[in-house]
Structure 1
Amino acid sequence: MTGSPLISVVVPTYKRPDLLERCLAALLKQNLPRDDWEILVCDDGPSAQTQALVERVAEHAGGRPPVRYLPVSNTQGPAGARNVGWRAARAPVIAFTDDDTMPEPGWLKAGLEAMASGVEAAVGTVLMPLPDEPGDLERDAARLTEAEFVTANCFVRRDALDAVGGFDERFTLAWREDSDLHFALLERGFTIAPAPAATVVHPLRPMPFGASLGMQKKVMFDVLLYRKFPELYRQRIRPGPPWLYLTICASLMAVLLGLLAGRWEVAAAAAAAWALLTTYFFIRRLRLSACTLRNVAEVLFTSLFIPPLSIYWRVVGAARFGGGLP
């Protein structure tokens, strides 16, 4: 390429070459002229397999568009990987997506059209097809399609990224790093426009039984986001503390204290309160998802542990990042 591209696509990846290959295949079907854009694959777990895949795709593309492989070794997590990508990009507009998406052919063109008015950022549409009877995990994952700002499908001017310092690399998991960038842009008074025609498909991936328990670790990054942007967090994420979880945990604590003190009536009353609240939590989660044996069993099992795990990781987040519990 003799000139600079109009837009650079940044794709962070981590040990998912099969998904990455699918994503790159979809990207190469863009209907934007191939001299107008480039692809930067940021490998958060540098591997010869992923590098070979990217080089093979680059050779197939013949340099139109350029496809570059960027190993990421000084940070961990998609936030740091995206920083490596946009800082190496050659275009004034950066398009972000993930390695498990499939951008539709008009994605980049629609993104550029949304940015043409001079806005600093734009957010596209994420489609996540659900089965006829989605389980609780699948419905929860599909909430991504309702998010206000997601790095699976957004466009940001390089100048704006420079102004806010890019992504906060303390977000080492794929959670809230996009909200952090969103809030940073809003705090600086930058304009963010919708780009509904810029569409990516985000297929659901199979998840093991009880996967929602491991996901509770991500909650510690809510603490970091709340510490940085308390007002925006309350306005756009959660208006108040998780009272149900806190009450369930308080009931469990009362059971333990009652048993230690020999106050059996207190322990029994607290256990009844815990059982009632946990049953309510279980029914609330189940009523909107499939009534299959697996889903019912999974919702029941995880409902026992999600509240204490969620509060535990909030406390861990407060100890790591400081500030109060969101």
Structure 2
Amino acid sequence: MTLDATIVIPTIGRESLQRLLTALDRGEGPRPAQVIVVDDRPAPQALTLNGDLPVKVLESGGRGPAAARNVGWRAADTRWVCFLDDDVLPTATWLSVLAADLAAADAAGVAGSQGRLDVPREGAGRPTDDEQRTLRLATARWITADMAYRGDVLVEVGGFDARFPRAYREDSDIALRITTAGHTIAVGDRRCEHPVAPATWRTSLRVQAGNRDNALMRRKFGPDWRARIGEGDGRLPAHTATTAAAVGSLLALATRRHRVAAVAAVAWAALTAEFTLRRYRGGSRTAAELGRIIVSSMLIPPLAVAHRVAGEWQHRHAETDPPLAVLLDRDDTLIEDGPYLNDPRGVVPMPGARRALDRLRDRGLLLAVVTNQSGVARGLITPEQLGEVNAEVVGQLGTFDSWQVCLHAEDDGCACRKPAPGMVLAAAAALGVPPQRCVLIGDTGGDVQAALTAGGRAILVPTDRTRVEEISAARSHPCADVAPTLTAAVDMVLRT
């Protein structure tokens, strides 16, 4: 028996990856249809993976676990996609219990199934403050260290939000979008072991970068986002007050307002002492840890506030979901239009086309070509000639994730020829993204109309043959825009 499921494992090359694959290979139960390992290192190296599982290795360019998971699940063609972190260790019966969990999920019509995490500690005594952070994973909600989602639901919500660059909040974000869309996520019975992450006294400082991701969560879901993911109030209000007291004391001292400086300094000391004591009581309560906690408790509040301010600025327009895919007309957008071009030697890229496309690829956007080629129906181009021309386009401009080509004539009444939305919808389906998260760049009103009818966005790049009324219509539509060049159109896409 083969599971109708793909296991996706983002990795940064840790040794624990092979341990995970070995556990899956030796485990009881049906085999997954495929295992996809996504190497998310900026400079990937060869991975030596042993075992009999059908493992496929892809690369995601070092853009973080959210982007890596997107690369993985979009390469899957199974009903279910199960995400595992590369440092977890599934039990010997994990695959058989996964099969039961997914069968139960299908019977109940739910969209996701969360595995259970065990976080064992080494050594005796109370856990340290840093160990507590990992131990909380055992009771956390929607942790993607072991989470399965239906593929159609991932398409519906657009997958993971790659604006989350760390292993933090990206799992809560997608789960919240899935449940907000009316779906349910169940808790299964399968279990994995998650190690306690190694930490130094600087770890508590480094994790404050997560406040940037908290800013994105607030922008997307509003001020009650913590309650919606099952968390209590955060420490940011207290950190803000602590930082304000410290800054106020320094400013007052600089302006020789000594009484004000003293009051603000006392407030800072009291807030810092409360934070230190809270962490110490929750930790190992050893003298060695107390010293680390005192130092880090003085540094954490300003760091947290600085990251939060930076995140608020970075994500100030985050209410609008960014595009996931860019669809491009071929003639007069990617290459110069030769009437019914049937010779690959006539392929001439538009100025700056390769660099513009590479910028989109570097940001992880999916690319597709959507092009009317009625010359085939007219008998002016053979399908073989069209294939040769398109192959030359790829040779000069790089690969595309999908090609959608309409071979019909204008009066054939097909649903694919632009301005009909057929090719836009087909491209979105082939790429595994909602049409609403697609932007079509083209040179005619038909390109714009096809994108808008499909529910996407459009950017018109006019040429001498673009009609004035088409330009005016694009400028007046809230989901369309006009750019002078392909490079400028890509600038617009990357700013959203």
Q: TM-score, normalized by length of structure 2?
A: 0.60
Q: Distance in 1 between matches of 2:196 and 2:137?
A: 11
> Which residue does the alignment assign to 2:114?
123
The alpha-carbon deviation at position 177 of structure 1 amounts to 0.2
What is the DSSP-based 3-state SS (H/G/I as helix, E as strand, rest coil) of the residue aligned with 1:290?
coil
Q: Is the 2:36–2:55 Cα contact (8 Å) retained in structure 1?
A: yes
> Which residue does the alignment assign to 1:290?
284
Q: Distance in 2 between matches of 1:209 and 1:249?
A: 21
Q: Distance in 2 between matches of 1:222 and 1:241?
A: 12
The alpha-carbon deviation at position 256 of structure 1 amounts to 1.7
> Which residue does the alignment assign to 1:322?
316
Within the alignment, does 1:202 sit opposite 2:194 as a pair? yes
Residue number among 47, 55, 59 corresponding to 1:67 in the alignment: 55
The alpha-carbon deviation at position 273 of structure 1 amounts to 1.1
- C-alpha change, 1:218 and 1:26, in structure 2 (3 Å) is same
Q: Distance in 2 between matches of 1:256 and 1:48?
A: 47
Q: Is the 2:80–2:149 Cα contact (8 Å) retained in structure 1?
A: yes
The alpha-carbon deviation at position 126 of structure 1 amounts to 0.7
Q: Distance in 1 between matches of 2:193 and 2:242?
A: 37
Q: Is the 1:223–1:323 Cα contact (8 Å) retained in structure 2?
A: no
1:245-279 CA distance string (max 9 Å, x none): 12111211210221122100110111111111101
Written as runs of structure 1 = structure 2, the 5 A alignment for 1:7-156 is 7-16=5-14, 18-34=15-31, 36-45=32-41, 49=45, 51-54=46-49, 57=50, 60-61=51-52, 65-73=53-61, 76-116=63-103, 117=107, 118-130=109-121, 131-132=123-124, 133-156=126-149
Q: Aligned letter for 2:199? A: M
Q: Aligned letter for 1:14? A: I
Q: Which has the higher contact order (CA 8 A, sep 6+)?
A: 1
Written as runs of structure 1 = structure 2, the 5 A alignment for 1:253-292 is 253-292=247-286
RMSD of aligned alpha carbons? 2.0
The alpha-carbon deviation at position 111 of structure 1 amounts to 2.8
1:70-115 CA distance string (max 9 Å, x none): 1222x60000000011111132101111011111122233233223
Q: Distance in 2 between matches of 1:207 and 1:136?
A: 10
The alpha-carbon deviation at position 323 of structure 1 amounts to 6.9
Q: Aligned letter for 1:44? A: D
Q: What percentage of aligned pairs have identical amino acids?
A: 35
Q: Aligned letter for 2:101? A: A
Q: Greater helix percent: which structure? A: 1
Instruction: Tell me whether 185-194 or 124-133 shows the greater mean CA deviation.
Output: 124-133
Q: Aligned letter for 1:43? A: D
Q: Distance in 2 between matches of 1:241 and 1:296?
A: 20
Q: Distance in 2 between matches of 1:213 and 1:52?
A: 32
Aligned residues between the structures:
310
The alpha-carbon deviation at position 19 of structure 1 amounts to 1.6
> Which residue does the alignment assign to 1:213?
205
Q: Is the 2:242–2:268 Cα contact (8 Å) retained in structure 1?
A: yes
The alpha-carbon deviation at position 4 of structure 1 amounts to 7.5
1:220-242 CA distance string (max 9 Å, x none): 00111111112443433344773
Q: Aligned letter for 1:128? A: V
Structure 2: gaps of 5 or more residues = 319-496
Within the alignment, does 1:252 sit opposite 2:246 as a pair? yes
The alpha-carbon deviation at position 38 of structure 1 amounts to 2.1
Q: Aligned letter for 1:71? A: E
Instruction: Tell me whether 77-86 or 96-105 shows the greater mean CA deviation.
Output: 96-105
Q: TM-score, normalized by length of structure 1?
A: 0.89
Q: Distance in 2 between matches of 1:288 and 1:241?
A: 15
Q: Distance in 2 between matches of 1:307 and 1:240?
A: 12
Q: Distance in 2 between matches of 1:47 and 1:217?
A: 23
> Which residue does the alignment assign to 2:300?
306
Structure 1: gaps of 5 or more residues = none
The alpha-carbon deviation at position 149 of structure 1 amounts to 0.4
> Which residue does the alignment assign to 2:218?
226
Q: Is the 1:4–1:91 Cα contact (8 Å) retained in structure 2?
A: no
- C-alpha change, 1:323 and 1:272, in structure 2 (3 Å) is farther
Residue number among 152, 156, 159 corresponding to 1:163 in the alignment: 156
Greater gyration radius: 2
Q: Aligned letter for 1:165? A: G
